[in-house]
Structure 1
Amino acid sequence: MKKLNLIAAATVLTASTSAYADPVLIEQWSFINEAGFSNWTTVGSGTNSLEASGDSSDGGTSILSTGALPDNLCWGDPVNANNDQSCLSINSPVSNETTQSWDEDGMMVDINGGAPQGNAMTVAIGGDYTTAFKQGTAVRHNNFPITGEMLDTVSIRDGLRLEAVAPEGVVVNAPELEFMVDFWETPNGGLDADGTCPFGPPSRTPGSVNENGCSDIFKIVGFDGAGDLNIVDSGEGFIDFSVKFTVTGVDASEYHRNYELITRLSGLDVTFDDEGVGFVTRENGVNILNAQFAVRAIDAPEPSTLAVFAVSLLGLAGFSRRKFK
């Protein structure tokens, strides 16, 4: 009978352990997002060599593992009325104190009525993250007709540092991502006599993405540093992907430690193939690939009820042996 009573007590202990209050979410984060270019290669030759400039940290302390990187690349010999080169630029850094970002025409506009955009708010497990996006860095392509040396490949390194409002002093460096990009400076007149373009209708088709000539393609062919990067959602003009991270330095019994960072890239036509995901940039104009992010809590692995029950029985077994002695 006593043995049965002890087993019953273990069952009660297991039930009470399972019913213990869940750790609370870390609800607010201040942040800084920084990104820059590295490891670029070119093809062809001409008067102008590719030039890198700018500072991804804007003269401050970089959060990137590499230190600050260039955030502007320009290349090519202009063959357009405005005598413009093609350029890739990143609006970096961006933080919770940022008040402006590029609109679809490449103009700096207010993103929160002129006030700082504010802290990132954590979305509950399974919640709608699309209501919680904060503005991150954005990539701009000034796409103009050129000849000569052209960008071929480039890497974009992106880092995000989160600091919890409460508990104070908790700082998280989200997984630093390095995107490998294959850049296709397409022939404006098309790939053949019919004006076929790699994406969309033939070159010079009125009202299309190729109205001013075949659009260039900015294709992400790989990434590094994230572990598991998952595509959460995609549609016409956007793609959402997530990476997981764990908060350290907090008591797991008090604070939830498992989260995911969801990033939305939008603003350009999206194309998929076996090699990766591409973003289409219109010829003879400014193109903006916008980036926003949200933080969402995710379930953490938990010990099974059977495992907790077994630990309880082992504790009782030790008690029995001590009593016998």
Structure 2
Amino acid sequence: MKRISRNSFRSRTLGIAGALALCFSATAQADAIDGIIDTWQVDVSTIFDTASICDSTGDCTAPTGVTVIDNQTLRWGSSTGQGVSGLQISNSPASGNVVTNGAAVNNVSITHLNRPITGTTLSSVDILSTLTLTPVSPAGSALPPVTITFGVDYLETDNGATPCADGGINGVGVNVNGCADIYVTDVKSLNFGFTYDFDGAGSLFGDQTYYISFFEATNGLNTLSADACAAVGASYPCLGFETPEGQDTTVNFASLITTEKVVINVPEPSTLALGGLGLVALAGLRRRN
């Protein structure tokens, strides 16, 4: 397949993270008697920003090399007999109840379809994820929806290159069927705080601070090699995944709400593997009934 040269890495706050190791006891479950929301309804709607697509020719105005099936389905390239490559958002919109200080709950997923193709391919695209939080127990008014934009840079590699774009050996490991394609995104932080006062101003309980994290639940996103990062124009370390030729790779996301910041310990240089959807816009939000 055609190798793309990227001169810039456009990546914004995202929602995506690597591995989490969490342990909460049954006694950690929130109690509304203490002014804490026990359960939240978390609604997530994720789409591609189709106006942000750039193809491998550098065309970001009318990128004819990428076919928009709908705002959750992108396809590109000319088939050599096994179909075309693409990206697919699944399980969106997603809605689920998340217990404060409880288990994480799965929501949307993103799948990359890697096929042997020719022609123009995807180079980059932005993803829009809209989050709405609504108290369920005790019931309360929803926080205003927040839309997070994050970018993806993508490299459709030359299958026959030696070495491959990631610096690996062709025919070995992830490059076993030819050089793997590279998907890169950037993450800045694990979680962000927001406040909620379920019994109103001047009442017994004041604002309670919560932290929400969106993370990749199946260890699909990892710190890539310096060569892989450089191939898409990203600084090392960068976060993403590589898809073996002829296969599909899916990353699944989940949400978690806590009353304290989650402390995660992972070996270096995997600091970016902690990243989640950076809910900067939620920081400091207040809602009073």
TM-score, scaled to structure 2: 0.65
Is residue 196 from structure 1 mapped to residue 163 from structure 2 by the alignment?
Answer: yes
Indicate which of 163, 167, 185 corresponds to 1:220.
185
**What one-letter code is carried by the residue in structure 2 that aligns with 1:219?**
V
For residues 246-297 of structure 1, give each alpha carbon's deviation from its aligned partner in whole angstroms, at most 9, with x where no partner exists.
2366537426531111122134351245253222222211110111111111
Is residue 85 from structure 1 mapped to residue 63 from structure 2 by the alignment?
Answer: no
Q: Please give the residue correspondences for 1:240-251 in structure 2 after superposition, counting only pairs within 5 Å.
A: 241-247=190-196, 250-251=199-200
**What one-letter code is carried by the residue in structure 1 that aligns with 2:56?**
V
Root-mean-square deviation over aligned CA pairs: 2.6
Is residue 280 from structure 1 mapped to residue 281 from structure 2 by the alignment?
Answer: no
**What one-letter code is carried by the residue in structure 2 that aligns with 1:293?**
S
Is residue 71 from structure 1 mapped to residue 72 from structure 2 by the alignment?
Answer: yes
How far did residue 199 of structure 1 move? 2.9
Whether contact under 8 Å (2:151, 2:185) holds in the other structure is: yes
Distance 1:160 1:50 in 2: 27
Distance 2:209 2:146 in 1: 13
Identity %: 26
Distance 1:137 1:200 in 2: 31
User: Which structure's relative contact order is higher, taking Cα pairs within 8 Å and 6+ residues apart?
Assistant: 2
More helix by share: 1
Distance 2:74 2:99 in 1: 34
Whether contact under 8 Å (2:35, 2:208) holds in the other structure is: no
Whether contact under 8 Å (1:136, 1:291) holds in the other structure is: yes
Whether contact under 8 Å (1:23, 1:256) holds in the other structure is: no
For residues 147-199 of structure 1, give each alpha carbon's deviation from its aligned partner in whole angstroms, at most 9, with x where no partner exists.
11110010011122121113323212464321111111111112xxxx21233
Distance 1:165 1:32 in 2: 12
TM-score, scaled to structure 1: 0.58
Distance 1:247 1:78 in 2: 52
- Structure 1 gaps of 5+ residues are 1-21, 55-69, 97-118, 124-130, 223-228, 231-240, 300-325
Whether contact under 8 Å (1:23, 1:255) holds in the other structure is: no
Is residue 34 from structure 1 mapped to residue 45 from structure 2 by the alignment?
Answer: yes
Indicate which of 67, 71, 84 corresponds to 1:51.
67
How far did residue 144 of structure 1 move? 0.6
For residues 65-114 of structure 1, give each alpha carbon's deviation from its aligned partner in whole angstroms, at most 9, with x where no partner exists.
xxxxx0110011112x32x1111010111112xxxxxxxxxxxxxxxxxx
Distance 1:143 1:41 in 2: 18
Q: Please give the residue correspondences for 1:1-325 in structure 2 after superposition, counting only pairs within 5 Å.
A: 23-38=34-49, 39-44=52-57, 49-54=65-70, 70-79=71-80, 81-82=81-82, 84-91=83-90, 92-96=92-96, 119-123=97-101, 132-173=103-144, 175-190=146-161, 195-199=162-166, 201-205=168-172, 208-221=173-186, 229-230=188-189, 241-247=190-196, 250-251=199-200, 253-254=204-205, 256-265=207-216, 266-268=218-220, 270-272=222-224, 274=235, 276-298=238-260
Distance 1:122 1:256 in 2: 15
Count residues with an aligned counterpart. Answer: 209
